[in-house]
Amino acid sequence: MGRLENKIAVVTGSATGIGAGTVKLFAKEGAIVICADINDDDNHKTVDEIISAGGKAEACHVDVSSEESVVEFANHLKEKYKHIDVLFNNAGVDAEGGKVHEYPVELFDKIHSVDLRGTFLMSKYLIPLMLGRRGSIINTSSMSGRAADLNRSGYNAAKGGVTNFTKGMAVDYAREGIRVNSISPGTIETPLIDSLAGTKEEESGRQFRETNKWITPLGRLGTPEDIGHLAVFLASDESAYLTGEDITIDGGIMAYTWPGKMLMEEGWKETTE
């Protein structure tokens, strides 16, 4: 029997990356997975892969930044499933925008509309499907919500908001038995990295990955499955006494104060995976 046997789990941003890796693990653990994304082609491929492996999944087109889209989705869930047990608010976007005085307002608004407002809308309209039966909500934040990145203040602000919004929801719904936690990934090998830094085949992408490998104590980038395994734990009854927490999963980057010794130590670079 799987750790999520017969739980109904909704995952946003399920088409690729962390979302795709997680829904496959959820399904392996026995969950009925509702995969919500605006990328229909990749989302259907992910669902087909789950079903081919013997799992249960449904693909749904959802724009988490649109209240109308989220309400329509919530009504579909209520009609078809009556309730849900797990909500993983994972959908997100990111981009560099320059320093604050250069930062495009439309980019700031776009990032916040998906990363923060999307988390709010999905929670607002899907929490009623959890009330009266307990449940687990997981929000994808970021190590960039705990510290700053050059030229990405909009993303830093949005993810910092997700982290504290998580704590607010945890307090609000603790007595209803709904646990709310966030995951703060480090650098994870996903299509988002391709768009931000370049692919593995491009020089900029190779340099970005090699730099992140040596600056990460565990010597490698994370994988979607690394995040997915943590999400399984948070979705399962094994984490029944855990709520209001933001769990950083970054290979150890946030554990040190400055990389000076690593910059000087050639042997450090040679031990990456």
Residues annotated as catalytic are 155
d(Cα 14, Cα 122) in Å, to the nearest integer?
14
d(Cα 176, Cα 156) in Å, to the nearest integer?
31
The H or E element spanning position 240 is: none
Q: What angle do CA 11, 16, 18 make, to 5 degrees?
A: 60
Task: Find all residues with CB under 8 Å of 101, minimum gap 6, and list them.
Answer: none
DSSP structure class, residue 188: B
Element counts in the chain: helices (H) and strands (E): 11, 7
Beta bridge partners of 184: 248
Q: Coil, helix or strand for 8?
A: strand
Question: Hey, how many other C-beta atoms are within 10 angstroms of the C-beta on 92?
Answer: 26
d(Cα 120, Cα 70) in Å, to the nearest integer?
10
d(Cα 148, Cα 136) in Å, to the nearest integer?
29
